[in-house]
Structure 1
Amino acid sequence: MTPTVPALRCTDARAFGRVAVLMGGTSAEREVSLDSGRNVLAALQARGVDAHAVDGIPALVEALVAKRFDRVFNILHGNKGGGEDGVLQGLCEALGVPVTGSGVLGSALGMDKIRTKQVWLSLGLPTPRYVRLAKGDDVHAAARSLGLPVIVKPSCEGSSVGVSRVFNEADLEAAVALAAAYPGELLMEQLVVGGEYTVGILGDIALPSIRIVPAGEYYDYHAKYQAEDTQYLCPGLEGEAEAGIRALALAAFRAAGCSGWGRVDVMRDAAGNNYLLEVNTAPGMTSHSLVPKAAGQVGIGFEELCWRVLETSLPKEGAGA
């Protein structure tokens, strides 16, 4: 059941050249990105990589134009100043600078929860029923069409930013107002009652699933990044159930055009049905983050994980330099 981890593609840190660890930025997830970035920077430097911190895309542009870096380790989170919406990937592609993780399409699609769900549904992959909310839409009619309880969230944010769980119609307006404070469209989604899982993706393998058990009722921003009493059970399932959720996550990741590394979030109801929630193309690398926990289960420590993610910026075998 344990996935087979391939050998490292590169063993000489000099092969990476000078690396920009891109962190911070101006998205709603800036502080999480800075935390992730500091950890990644320290891990790469400990392995002998010539890595340096760069805060935000404008600073990176200046550095790349001046040819100060050979590749980019992207640990920006979010969109609109984050590095998960395809803008950074397009920039690097235009300048001919390799970058870790997904390309333009996978990054842009993965950042947009509505369009990711549209792709998944077109392929018959399971995801909670939803309604796309435009400005002025009747949110009460939308909630009735799905049936309470529902989740209201921005379509293009992460880290549980702007998310509300709504159990009573009277709370709908406040939930919509909170989500509308962020750029982009809104998404109203059927709330799946059950266990919350996540599956890390590294290269072509799905790492062991993690079942997330917060001390409170929900796995919100506090439980993700601040609380010390959230439980992470890894692997989250056993036998065929574990194999099934990992296979589903890998299929969902590929369907969204993603590559390199990432994380797929899944809800599992009491009947054992899995429902895809979203893809993260630049997951957190903080002390509370999930991909490092899953990697540790297959013997990949944090420093090695950062090295392997950096390897995703290397040309694929058989491809040109």
Structure 2
Amino acid sequence: MSQIGINDGASQQPAGTTLGGVAARLGKVAVLMGGASAEREVSLMSGQGVLQALISQGVDAHAFDPAERDLAELKVEGFSHCFIALHGRFGEDGTVQGALELLGIPYTGSGVMASSIAIDKVMTKRIWRSEGLPTPEWRQVDSAAATSEAFAALGSPMIVKPDREGSTIGLTKVTQIEQCGAAYALAARHDAMVLCEQFVKGDEVTIPLLGSGAGAHALPVIRIVAPDGNYDYQNKYFTDTTQYLVPANLPAGEEAHIQQLALKAYQVLGCRGWARVDVMIDARTRAPFLLEINTSPGMTPHSLVPMAAKAAGVSYPALCLEVLRHATLDYAAAGGDAQQPSTEPA
């Protein structure tokens, strides 16, 4: 399952698909970065990395921050493709995807519906559960009192987090009922919808995925070993004490099973292009549980998709180019009429 169809370097490209040819076909590319979400800082780091990587591959790439410029300028300035390096709301929730659909500019990653579902952890878990996929028990809450009730039902430890944020922003691991009020308040600061989730003790792993439909495939599994088991925002992006093990050194057959599970989780949501699925493996039973999916994964120096790609023999610039090569629009991806509605006044 960890095979990957990326040609890393011009010498390995089939005839007619040299790096220069691919870059020319892509035309003028906007790397969307920054944005207005709580993950702006990480997005800027991701975007700058992607921008420099694409330029190194001969792509006519330019930075574009939707928090500072109107998206309509993309059309005016002649951009033909967008690499979405935005994270969180207004970036990977279907909002910018919908705008790009109206502008008729192909973009990387999942489409409008899959993006809007995947950022909503509760909706994602409902779909996974309906498809028979394992995910930890949860409650959706709207008050501190409801959070305490969830703790009584789910037990200790319990994870409290915003429903529609990423990068572990606003997340608390609750071990005592007295912590529920503060945990809810922190999560609610970022989203009116708050998720309480049963904690699964064991190995934390993540599985990057590339491609669409039947052509989608998983990259190598990465096992995450954070200080004191606390894989928070700081340990994700700004420290060097978290260990990322690839190969993950899981028991025989377990990695392939987890890759298949992540692939199905990706496909049932209708995702395309690329994503990353986070999984916990129960220490006692070795049963895997799906936590969430990220449809616009980080591309910083600490990020996991580039790490898995490197383990598969694919450089960071080649990975960026591969993701961009599959930029599309919803109707085009579905094999329908890709003609977009006119944005000109009647």
TM superposition score category, shorter chain reference: over 0.9
Contact map agreement 1:128 1:191 (CA 8 A) in 2: yes
Aligned-residue offset at 1:316: 5.6
Equivalent residue number for residue 312 of structure 1: 326
Distance 1:102 1:4 in 2: 19
Aligned-residue offset at 1:226: 0.6
Q: Residues 43-62 of structure 1 correspond to what in structure 2 (within 5 A)?
A: 43-56=53-66, 59-62=69-72
Distance 1:6 1:62 in 2: 33
Contact map agreement 1:235 1:242 (CA 8 A) in 2: no
Say which of 240, 243, 265 aligns to 1:231: 243
Matched, 1:272 2:286: yes
Larger CA deviation: 158-167 vs 234-243:
234-243
Instruction: Report the residue type matching 1:69 in the other structure.
Output: F
Equivalent residue number for residue 259 of structure 2: 246
Q: Cα–Cα, structure 1 residues 138 and 245, in superposed 2: closer, same or farther, change >3 Å?
A: same
Matched, 1:5 2:10: no
Distance 1:207 1:238 in 2: 17
Contact map agreement 1:156 1:184 (CA 8 A) in 2: no
Matched, 1:90 2:102: no
Distance 1:4 1:43 in 2: 19
Equivalent residue number for residue 165 of structure 2: 157
Aligned-residue offset at 1:136: 6.7
Once superposed, what is the RMSD of the aligned Cα atoms?
A: 1.9
Aligned-residue offset at 1:68: 2.4
Q: Percent identity?
A: 48
Distance 1:207 1:4 in 2: 7
Instruction: Report the residue type matching 1:256 in the other structure.
Output: L
Instruction: Report the residue type matching 2:253 in the other structure.
Output: E
CA displacement, residues 151-175 of structure 1 (integer Å, 9 cap, x when unaligned): 0000000000000000000111110
Q: Cα–Cα, structure 1 residues 136 and 318, in superposed 2: closer, same or farther, change >3 Å?
A: closer
Instruction: Report the residue type matching 1:254 in the other structure.
Output: Q
Instruction: Report the residue type matching 1:217 in the other structure.
Output: G
Instruction: Report the residue type matching 1:195 in the other structure.
Output: D
Aligned-residue offset at 1:320: 6.7
Moved over 3 A (4+): 6-11, 314-321
Distance 1:99 1:135 in 2: 38
Aligned-residue offset at 1:310: 0.2
Q: Residues 171-210 of structure 1 correspond to what in structure 2 (within 5 A)?
A: 171-203=179-211, 204-210=216-222
SS in 1 for 2:125: helix
Aligned-residue offset at 1:6: 5.3
Alignment length (residue pairs): 319
CA displacement, residues 246-287 of structure 1 (integer Å, 9 cap, x when unaligned): 000010011122111010000001121100000000000000
Matched, 1:215 2:223: no
Distance 2:252 2:146 in 1: 44
Matched, 1:27 2:37: yes
Q: Residues 131-142 of structure 1 correspond to what in structure 2 (within 5 A)?
A: 131-135=139-143, 138-142=146-150
CA displacement, residues 65-106 of structure 1 (integer Å, 9 cap, x when unaligned): 414211100000000xx3100011111111111000000011
Instruction: Report the residue type matching 1:177 in the other structure.
Output: A
Instruction: Report the residue type matching 1:232 in the other structure.
Output: Y
Aligned-residue offset at 1:210: 0.2
Distance 1:107 1:57 in 2: 19
Aligned-residue offset at 1:230: 1.1
Gaps in structure 2 of 5+ consecutive residues: 8-12, 339-346
Distance 1:299 1:136 in 2: 48
